[in-house]
Each structure stands twice: as C-alpha cells, then as structure tokens.
C-alpha cells in the first residue's frame, strides 16, 4: 500500500473515567476510501471529533502527513487539509447553498484556484447546481447531506471525513451519495467514511476498520471484515446457547 495520510497510535479518549476510545491504532492510506464501522455508541463520532480537534486526546497520537496534529486548533487542522461533513447536517441556514459552499472555498486550505471556481466544482460534484440560490433552511435531508459534502470539499482537503452521509437517505439518494464520494476520491481527496449502511460501505470502501465499545476489533478489506466472527458478533450478538423456538 502507498503511504498513509493519517495515522493514529494508541488513540485514547476518556470522559471522566468513561473510556470512549481505547488504544485504537489506524492507518488511512492516501487516495483510498477508508471505512469505519461499528455498532451504535462504539465511538465512531468521538474518533472524528478527536481527529478534527473538537475534543483533545487523552492519550496517544494522531499524525497527518507525518506531522503530529495534537497541538493544532480545529480551524488549523482544516487549513492543513482535514475537512469534515457532519452526520447531523449543520448548514448555515440563513445563507444560500452557494454562500454556504463559498465559506468553505474562501477559507479552508490556503492557496489554490479562484474560490468561485472551487464553489462551482463543489456544487457540480454534489449535484447541487439547481439549488444553488436557495437558502439552506428549506432543503431536504438528502440535499443537506450533499451540501455537507460540497461545503467540506470546497475547503480543498486532502482528507475528507464523512460522518454517516447516507443515514436516513432513500436508496436513490444513497446511490447518488456513493457516486458523489467516489468523485471526491477520484479528484485526489482521501475519503474516510463512517457508515451504518453495510451495502454502501462494502461497495465503495477499499479497506475498513471496525470498532466496538471504543476498541478496534477488526481491520481489512470489506470481504475480510464481513467474514470476521468478531464483527458478526458485535453486530448481531453472540450465538445463543439454547435455541428459542
């Protein structure tokens, strides 16, 4: 595998004694679509919050392109190339879709081309051109999710963290979202995807990390992970000793 864009070693986060993430190691290969799955409450969103700097690490280290990012505040982490699309959409409701994306294009990673070009590109990737002049307030869930991706992509990241972009979407919208993420990857941005929809995950991810109760339980290609007994038991529970008829 090529070099890793993001690596974690012994990543740990405790909230007053409750350990949400414990000694998790991970390596995200550059140019991949990397999947993170796990049951509810496994610590997936917490891990994203640690990477974006929303919470400080309790222990361990996260390196982005070889550099430790622990001392950097959230906005600096975005400026060096880490973007995030939220699970619960957080649009700027009073601004239009275009203006929402423009904030990302005007800030984010410095340099690059004209912000307006970036805005157009991001809107095209997410398929939001027709909604560009609508305020974000009245958008459907599907459009809001696309807006999350477009706005994050507009910051010109080298790594995009997508937190359950398909949650609550219908099959058509899920399909569109999956295509959208592929386009993002094809343009050179590594994608780290958290997802519940196993079909979406297994169809587009190059490799998958599985966590449960804050600990890593499996890692590998989609086929390997799906066949892993630990993963099956985490999702479906232990096989019952006695059959209930």
Partner 1 sequence: MNRTLALLLGAIVIIAAALLPIWIGPFYTRVIQLFFFSAGLAIAWNILGGFSGYWSFGHTVFIGMGAFAAAHIAPNLGLIGTGPMSMLVAILLAGLFCGLFAAILAYPILRLRGIYFAIAMLGVSQVAGELVNNVGWFKGGIGVFLQTPLPAGMATEDFFYYIFGALLLLCFIISMAVRNSRFGYALLSIREDEDTAMMLGVATERYKIMAFVLSATLVGILGAVYGYSVGYFTTYTVFRLDLSLNLIVFCLIGGIGTLFGPIVGTAIMLFITQVLLSRFLDIHLLITGAIVVVIILLMPGGMIGALRKWRRPKERSSTVTAEASA
Minimum separation from the CB atom of position 97 to partner 1 (A): 13
Nearer to partner 1, 115 or 222 (CB): 115
Could you please report the per-residue DSSP string of 151-178? HHHHT--SEEEEESTTTT--HHHHHHHH
Cα dist from 185 to 41, 66, 133, whole Å: 28, 21, 27
Q: Minimum distance between the CB of residue 238 and partner 1, rounded to whole angstroms? A: 39
For residues 15-24, b (16+ Cβ closer than 10 Å) or e, as one string? eeeebbbbeb
Residue (95 or 217) nearer to partner 1, CB: 95
Least CB distance to partner 1 at residue 218 (A): 29
Whichever of 44 and 102 has its CB closer to partner 1, that residue is: 102
The answer to whether the CB of 27 falls within 8 A of the CB of 220 is no
Q: Which residues bind partner 1 (CB under 8 A)?
A: 52, 54, 73-75, 78-79, 83-84, 86, 90-95, 99, 102-104, 106-109, 134-135, 137-138, 151-152, 155
Q: Minimum distance from CB of 230 to partner 1 (Å)? A: 33
Give the contacts of 222 (CB within 8 A, at least 6 positions apart): 35, 201, 202, 205, 207, 208
- To the nearest whole angstrom, how small is the minimum distance from the Cβ of residue 91 to partner 1? 8
Whose Cβ is closer to partner 1: residue 23's or residue 99's? 99
3-state secondary structure of 108: coil
Angle separating helix axes 97-106 and 115-126, nearest 10 degrees = 130
């Amino acid at each position: 595998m090529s070099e890793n864009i993001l690596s974690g070693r012994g990543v740990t986060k405790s909230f007053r004694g409750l350990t949400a993430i414990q000694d998790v190691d991970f390596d995200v290969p550059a140019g991949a679509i990397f999947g993170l799955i796990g049951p509810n409450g496994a610590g997936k969103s917490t891990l994203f919050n640690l990477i974006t700097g929303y919470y400080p690490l309790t222990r361990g280290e996260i390196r982005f392109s070889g550099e430790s990012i622990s001392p950097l505040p959230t906005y600096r982490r975005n400026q060096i190339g880490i973007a995030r699309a939220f699970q619960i959409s957080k649009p700027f409701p009073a601004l239009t879709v275009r203006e929402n994306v423009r904030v990302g294009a005007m800030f984010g990673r410095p340099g690059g081309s004209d912000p307006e070009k970036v805005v157009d590109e991001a809107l095209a990737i997410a398929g939001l051109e027709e909604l560009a002049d609508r305020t974000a307030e009245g958008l459907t869930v599907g459009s809001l999710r696309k807006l999350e991706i477009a706005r994050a992509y507009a910051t010109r990241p080298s790594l995009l963290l997508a937190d359950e972009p398909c949650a609550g979407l219908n099959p058509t919208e899920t399909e569109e979202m999956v295509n959208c993420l592929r386009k993002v990857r094809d343009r050179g941005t590594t994608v780290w995807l958290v997802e519940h929809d196993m079909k979406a995950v297994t169809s587009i991810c190059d490799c998958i990390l599985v966590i449960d109760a804050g600990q890593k339980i499996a890692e590998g290609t989609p086929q390997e992970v799906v066949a892993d007994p630990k993963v099956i038991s985490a999702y479906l529970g232990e096989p019952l000793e006695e059959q209930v008829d």
